[in-house]
Structure 1
Protein backbone atom coordinates (compact mmCIF):
# COMPACT_ATOMS: atom_id res chain seq x y z
CA UNK A 1 0.00 0.00 0.00
CA UNK A 2 1.36 3.42 -0.90
CA UNK A 3 1.28 6.46 1.30
CA UNK A 4 -1.24 9.12 0.33
CA UNK A 5 0.18 11.59 -2.15
CA UNK A 6 0.29 15.16 -0.87
CA UNK A 7 -0.29 16.60 -4.34
CA UNK A 8 -3.11 16.63 -6.81
CA UNK A 9 -2.68 15.46 -10.35
CA UNK A 10 -6.41 15.55 -10.95
CA UNK A 11 -7.18 14.32 -14.46
CA UNK A 12 -3.55 14.67 -15.59
CA UNK A 13 -2.72 11.94 -18.06
CA UNK A 14 0.64 10.49 -17.00
CA UNK A 15 2.57 7.93 -19.01
CA UNK A 16 4.41 5.40 -16.86
CA UNK A 17 7.29 3.47 -18.44
CA UNK A 18 8.80 1.02 -15.96
CA UNK A 19 9.86 -2.56 -16.64
CA UNK A 20 9.78 -3.87 -13.07
CA UNK A 21 6.19 -4.94 -12.46
CA UNK A 22 6.04 -4.26 -8.72
CA UNK A 23 7.55 -0.79 -9.10
CA UNK A 24 5.28 0.02 -12.05
CA UNK A 25 2.25 -1.06 -10.05
CA UNK A 26 3.30 1.02 -7.04
CA UNK A 27 3.87 4.10 -9.24
CA UNK A 28 0.51 3.66 -10.94
CA UNK A 29 -1.25 3.34 -7.58
CA UNK A 30 0.43 6.48 -6.23
CA UNK A 31 -0.55 8.43 -9.34
CA UNK A 32 -4.15 7.24 -9.16
CA UNK A 33 -4.22 8.22 -5.47
CA UNK A 34 -3.13 11.72 -6.56
CA UNK A 35 -5.96 11.85 -9.12
CA UNK A 36 -4.00 11.08 -12.28
CA UNK A 37 -5.11 9.01 -15.23
CA UNK A 38 -2.31 6.48 -15.78
CA UNK A 39 -1.26 5.68 -19.32
CA UNK A 40 0.32 2.26 -19.06
CA UNK A 41 2.33 1.19 -17.27
CA UNK A 42 4.34 -0.01 -20.21
CA UNK A 43 7.65 -1.86 -20.05
CA UNK A 44 9.43 -1.50 -23.39
CA UNK A 45 10.69 1.31 -25.60
CA UNK A 46 8.50 0.08 -28.48
CA UNK A 47 5.36 0.07 -26.32
CA UNK A 48 6.19 3.57 -25.10
CA UNK A 49 6.71 4.91 -28.62
CA UNK A 50 3.48 3.25 -29.81
CA UNK A 51 1.56 4.75 -26.88
CA UNK A 52 3.00 8.22 -27.55
CA UNK A 53 1.91 7.98 -31.19
CA UNK A 54 -1.58 6.75 -30.24
CA UNK A 55 -2.33 9.16 -27.36
CA UNK A 56 -3.37 12.66 -28.41
CA UNK A 57 -3.01 14.02 -24.87
CA UNK A 58 -0.17 13.24 -22.47
CA UNK A 59 0.32 15.69 -19.60
CA UNK A 60 3.46 14.13 -18.13
CA UNK A 61 5.63 11.04 -18.03
CA UNK A 62 7.62 9.02 -15.51
CA UNK A 63 10.31 7.05 -17.30
CA UNK A 64 12.75 4.40 -16.24
CA UNK A 65 15.98 5.08 -18.12
CA UNK A 66 16.45 1.38 -18.84
CA UNK A 67 13.50 -0.59 -20.18
CA UNK A 68 14.23 -4.30 -20.57
CA UNK A 69 17.89 -3.63 -21.34
CA UNK A 70 17.25 -0.80 -23.81
CA UNK A 71 17.79 2.85 -22.92
CA UNK A 72 14.71 5.02 -23.19
CA UNK A 73 16.32 7.99 -24.98
CA UNK A 74 14.10 7.50 -28.06
CA UNK A 75 11.10 7.80 -25.74
CA UNK A 76 12.58 10.93 -24.15
CA UNK A 77 13.09 12.44 -27.62
CA UNK A 78 9.50 11.66 -28.65
CA UNK A 79 8.17 13.28 -25.47
CA UNK A 80 10.44 16.32 -25.82
CA UNK A 81 9.17 16.78 -29.40
CA UNK A 82 5.65 17.01 -27.97
CA UNK A 83 6.77 19.24 -25.05
CA UNK A 84 5.61 16.65 -22.51
CA UNK A 85 7.14 17.24 -19.06
CA UNK A 86 8.86 14.19 -17.66
CA UNK A 87 10.84 12.82 -14.77
CA UNK A 88 13.48 10.15 -15.24
CA UNK A 89 13.67 7.41 -12.63
CA UNK A 90 16.98 5.61 -12.61
CA UNK A 91 19.51 3.73 -10.62
CA UNK A 92 22.23 5.13 -12.89
CA UNK A 93 24.60 7.78 -11.61
CA UNK A 94 24.28 11.28 -13.08
CA UNK A 95 27.46 10.67 -15.11
CA UNK A 96 25.67 7.91 -17.06
CA UNK A 97 23.09 10.36 -18.42
CA UNK A 98 24.01 11.71 -21.89
CA UNK A 99 24.79 15.45 -21.91
CA UNK A 100 21.66 16.19 -23.97
CA UNK A 101 19.47 14.96 -21.09
CA UNK A 102 21.36 16.02 -17.95
CA UNK A 103 18.98 18.91 -17.30
CA UNK A 104 15.91 16.68 -17.19
CA UNK A 105 14.54 16.12 -13.70
CA UNK A 106 15.72 12.82 -12.30
CA UNK A 107 14.87 10.75 -9.26
CA UNK A 108 17.42 8.17 -8.18
CA UNK A 109 16.15 4.71 -7.36
CA UNK A 110 15.14 3.65 -4.88
CA UNK A 111 12.75 6.59 -4.69
CA UNK A 112 9.66 7.04 -2.55
CA UNK A 113 6.36 7.25 -4.34
CA UNK A 114 5.53 10.59 -2.70
CA UNK A 115 8.78 12.08 -4.00
CA UNK A 116 8.13 10.70 -7.49
CA UNK A 117 4.55 11.99 -7.51
CA UNK A 118 5.66 15.43 -6.31
CA UNK A 119 8.38 15.55 -8.97
CA UNK A 120 6.01 14.92 -11.88
CA UNK A 121 3.38 17.24 -10.41
CA UNK A 122 5.99 20.02 -10.26
CA UNK A 123 7.01 19.45 -13.86
CA UNK A 124 3.41 19.49 -15.11
CA UNK A 125 2.64 22.64 -13.06
CA UNK A 126 5.78 24.38 -14.39
CA UNK A 127 4.71 23.76 -17.99
CA UNK A 128 1.22 25.12 -17.37
CA UNK A 129 2.57 28.41 -16.00
Structure 2
Protein backbone atom coordinates (compact mmCIF):
# COMPACT_ATOMS: atom_id res chain seq x y z
CA UNK A 1 0.00 0.00 0.00
CA UNK A 2 1.30 3.41 -0.91
CA UNK A 3 1.64 5.81 2.02
CA UNK A 4 3.75 8.57 0.47
CA UNK A 5 2.39 12.08 0.74
CA UNK A 6 1.39 11.68 4.36
CA UNK A 7 3.60 13.58 6.82
CA UNK A 8 4.39 10.36 8.72
CA UNK A 9 5.07 8.23 5.62
CA UNK A 10 8.85 8.60 5.86
CA UNK A 11 8.85 7.30 9.45
CA UNK A 12 6.55 4.32 8.97
CA UNK A 13 9.31 1.97 7.83
CA UNK A 14 11.12 2.35 11.16
CA UNK A 15 8.13 2.11 13.49
CA UNK A 16 8.17 -0.12 16.52
CA UNK A 17 4.65 -1.46 17.02
CA UNK A 18 3.06 -3.34 19.90
CA UNK A 19 0.08 -5.48 18.85
CA UNK A 20 -2.04 -6.97 21.63
CA UNK A 21 -4.23 -9.77 20.28
CA UNK A 22 -5.19 -13.00 22.03
CA UNK A 23 -6.05 -14.90 18.84
CA UNK A 24 -2.82 -16.21 17.28
CA UNK A 25 -4.17 -16.24 13.72
CA UNK A 26 -5.53 -12.71 14.02
CA UNK A 27 -2.17 -11.64 15.46
CA UNK A 28 -0.38 -13.08 12.42
CA UNK A 29 -2.88 -11.34 10.14
CA UNK A 30 -2.27 -8.01 11.91
CA UNK A 31 1.49 -8.41 11.56
CA UNK A 32 1.02 -8.99 7.83
CA UNK A 33 -1.36 -6.02 7.60
CA UNK A 34 1.18 -3.71 9.27
CA UNK A 35 3.86 -5.00 6.91
CA UNK A 36 1.56 -4.42 3.91
CA UNK A 37 1.33 -0.71 4.74
CA UNK A 38 5.09 -0.42 5.05
CA UNK A 39 5.84 -1.03 8.73
CA UNK A 40 8.95 -3.13 8.71
CA UNK A 41 11.13 -2.44 11.72
CA UNK A 42 9.57 -4.15 14.76
CA UNK A 43 6.13 -5.65 15.26
CA UNK A 44 5.82 -7.35 18.65
CA UNK A 45 2.65 -9.35 19.32
CA UNK A 46 1.46 -10.07 22.85
CA UNK A 47 -1.19 -12.77 23.22
CA UNK A 48 -2.11 -12.33 26.89
CA UNK A 49 -2.82 -9.52 29.30
CA UNK A 50 0.28 -10.33 31.38
CA UNK A 51 2.69 -10.32 28.44
CA UNK A 52 1.03 -7.21 27.00
CA UNK A 53 1.34 -5.35 30.29
CA UNK A 54 4.98 -6.37 30.65
CA UNK A 55 5.80 -5.26 27.09
CA UNK A 56 3.89 -2.00 27.55
CA UNK A 57 5.90 -1.28 30.71
CA UNK A 58 9.33 -2.34 29.51
CA UNK A 59 9.32 -2.25 25.71
CA UNK A 60 10.22 0.56 23.36
CA UNK A 61 7.33 1.24 21.00
CA UNK A 62 6.17 4.13 18.85
CA UNK A 63 2.52 3.00 18.63
CA UNK A 64 0.27 0.18 19.77
CA UNK A 65 -2.88 -1.58 18.63
CA UNK A 66 -4.88 -3.28 21.38
CA UNK A 67 -7.63 -5.83 21.03
CA UNK A 68 -10.26 -4.67 23.54
CA UNK A 69 -11.14 -8.17 24.72
CA UNK A 70 -8.35 -10.60 25.65
CA UNK A 71 -10.07 -13.88 26.44
CA UNK A 72 -12.88 -12.13 28.30
CA UNK A 73 -10.60 -9.63 30.04
CA UNK A 74 -10.40 -6.01 28.84
CA UNK A 75 -7.00 -4.70 27.75
CA UNK A 76 -7.58 -1.44 29.64
CA UNK A 77 -4.65 -1.94 32.08
CA UNK A 78 -2.31 -2.07 29.07
CA UNK A 79 -3.88 1.10 27.66
CA UNK A 80 -3.33 2.85 30.99
CA UNK A 81 0.37 1.94 30.96
CA UNK A 82 0.70 3.20 27.39
CA UNK A 83 -1.05 6.45 28.33
CA UNK A 84 1.29 6.96 31.28
CA UNK A 85 4.29 6.40 29.01
CA UNK A 86 2.96 8.71 26.30
CA UNK A 87 2.78 5.96 23.66
CA UNK A 88 -0.09 6.56 21.23
CA UNK A 89 -2.44 3.63 20.71
CA UNK A 90 -5.70 2.54 19.16
CA UNK A 91 -8.12 -0.21 20.02
CA UNK A 92 -9.45 -2.92 17.72
CA UNK A 93 -12.75 -4.57 18.51
CA UNK A 94 -15.45 -6.70 17.00
CA UNK A 95 -17.93 -5.07 19.37
CA UNK A 96 -19.20 -1.55 19.94
CA UNK A 97 -16.64 0.85 21.36
CA UNK A 98 -18.92 2.69 23.82
CA UNK A 99 -17.11 1.46 26.93
CA UNK A 100 -13.77 2.23 25.29
CA UNK A 101 -14.80 5.79 24.47
CA UNK A 102 -16.14 6.29 27.99
CA UNK A 103 -12.82 5.20 29.54
CA UNK A 104 -10.47 6.49 26.83
CA UNK A 105 -12.15 9.42 25.09
CA UNK A 106 -10.67 10.27 21.72
CA UNK A 107 -8.70 7.03 21.36
CA UNK A 108 -9.47 5.52 17.94
CA UNK A 109 -11.34 2.22 17.75
CA UNK A 110 -10.97 0.12 14.61
CA UNK A 111 -13.99 -2.08 14.02
CA UNK A 112 -12.98 -5.65 13.21
CA UNK A 113 -12.61 -6.74 10.53
CA UNK A 114 -10.77 -3.77 9.04
CA UNK A 115 -8.74 -3.16 5.91
CA UNK A 116 -5.17 -1.95 5.43
CA UNK A 117 -6.41 1.51 4.41
CA UNK A 118 -8.30 1.88 7.70
CA UNK A 119 -5.24 0.78 9.67
CA UNK A 120 -3.05 3.22 7.73
CA UNK A 121 -5.49 6.08 8.42
CA UNK A 122 -5.56 5.35 12.17
CA UNK A 123 -1.77 4.96 12.23
CA UNK A 124 -1.40 8.31 10.47
CA UNK A 125 -3.66 9.92 13.05
CA UNK A 126 -1.65 8.44 15.91
CA UNK A 127 1.60 9.70 14.42
CA UNK A 128 0.14 13.11 13.57
Q: TM-score range by the shorter chain?
A: 0.7 to 0.9
Q: Give the structure-1-normalised TM-score.
A: 0.82
* Partners of 2:64 and 2:90 within 8 A in 1: yes
Runs of 4+ aligned structure 1 residues displaced above 3 Å come to: none
Q: Give the structure-2-normalised TM-score.
A: 0.83
State how far apart, in whole Å, the 2-side matches of 1:112 and 1:100 are. Answer: 25
* Partners of 1:12 and 1:36 within 8 A in 2: yes
1:67 to 56, 65, 70: 70
1:50 and 2:46 aligned: no
1:40 and 2:44 aligned: yes
Can you give the 5+ residue segments of structure 2 that lack an aligned partner in the other structure?
A: 4-8
Counting matched residue pairs gives 120
Displacement of 1:98: 5.5
* Partners of 1:30 and 1:117 within 8 A in 2: no
RMSD: 1.7
